[in-house]
Amino acid sequence: MSWMVTGGAGYIGSHVVRALEEAGIPAVVLDDLSSGFEAFIPDGVPFINASILETERVAAALGEYGVTGVIHCAGYKYAGESVKFPIHTYRQNVEGTACLLEAMADAGVTQLVFSSSAGVYGTPEESVVTEETATTPESPYGESKLIGEWLIRDQVRATAGTDSPLRATSLRYFNVVGSGTADVYDASPHNLFPKVIRAIKGGQAPLIFGDDYDTPDGTCVRDYVHVQDLAHSHVAAARMLDFNKPLAPVYNLGSGDGTSVREIVGSLLEAAGSDLQPIVKERRPGDPARIVATGELAADDIEWKMAHTIEEMATSAWSAAPDEI
């Protein structure tokens, strides 16, 4: 009896694997290493080097390791880049999810936790989104995640009343940061934390785009959640499915209030012990002043809690980052 983590060699997925181990739940990793690292997988965890697009291989691995549920973290996660590469994005995130669902059905695996995204909301009218906020994604990435949710919803409906009904939930979140272990870090070339860390390590001042927004310090406010807190709620959702407890179709994992870009940059500079001063550039087109998500529903159902401060997020991210990321 084990849970498979697709994308389990990635930054978020490998933290989920560790959280499963800490909960006493055997884990299996499936990853094609397109953006993950085999070194991120804890020793002793079975690893299948394969893509979620390889339906037969995925189904075989599910059966071989006695998998009872899947935490689906695999995917192409770059919203900005998805505009340049929409076909690749849809193939990985939409076709890949469809292939995974097919493999799960073939193997008789009936539990799924989907790593979705708050990108499904686009730029909402309200500054604090709930699960009821309209979904209006503005990139192929956000669209692909929403279609993934639809695929899962429809498979749940299609299998209801059968001998193997699918039970699933999707978790939506914005910016995942920090590290829960010294040997796993965010290697993305596009995310704010690694961008700032890369600049500091190179002796360059980090950049802030716009300081004249209608926010307390003039810079954009966003949700930043610690990867370990996020991983914990993925596992809590998996355990709820294991115990046959009811779950909502979607949950937001958010702070409810957010943190400004200036605060983030300042925390990382402090963690680095650097006296560099950030450089303010002009606003980027389309950046809303404030978007955060409430996590109240997830707090009630899947143990969601912001257990780490921004300072802890910055310190752990800086400590785990190699000299070159």
Catalytic positions: 141
Q: What does the buried/exposed string (b/e) look like for 258-291 if buried means 16 or more CB atoms within 10 Å of the residue's CB?
A: bbbbbbbbbbbbebbebeeebeeeeeeeeeebbb
Strand partners of residue 175: 224
- Per DSSP, the three-state class of 66 is coil
| Apex 159 CA angle, 156 and 163, nearest 5 | 135
Residue ranges of alpha helices (H) inside 40-139 are: 55-64, 79-84, 86-90, 96-107
CB 101 within 8 A of CB 89: no
Q: Which residues are CB-contacts of 139 (< 8 A; sequence separation ≥ 6)?
A: 79, 80, 82, 83, 119
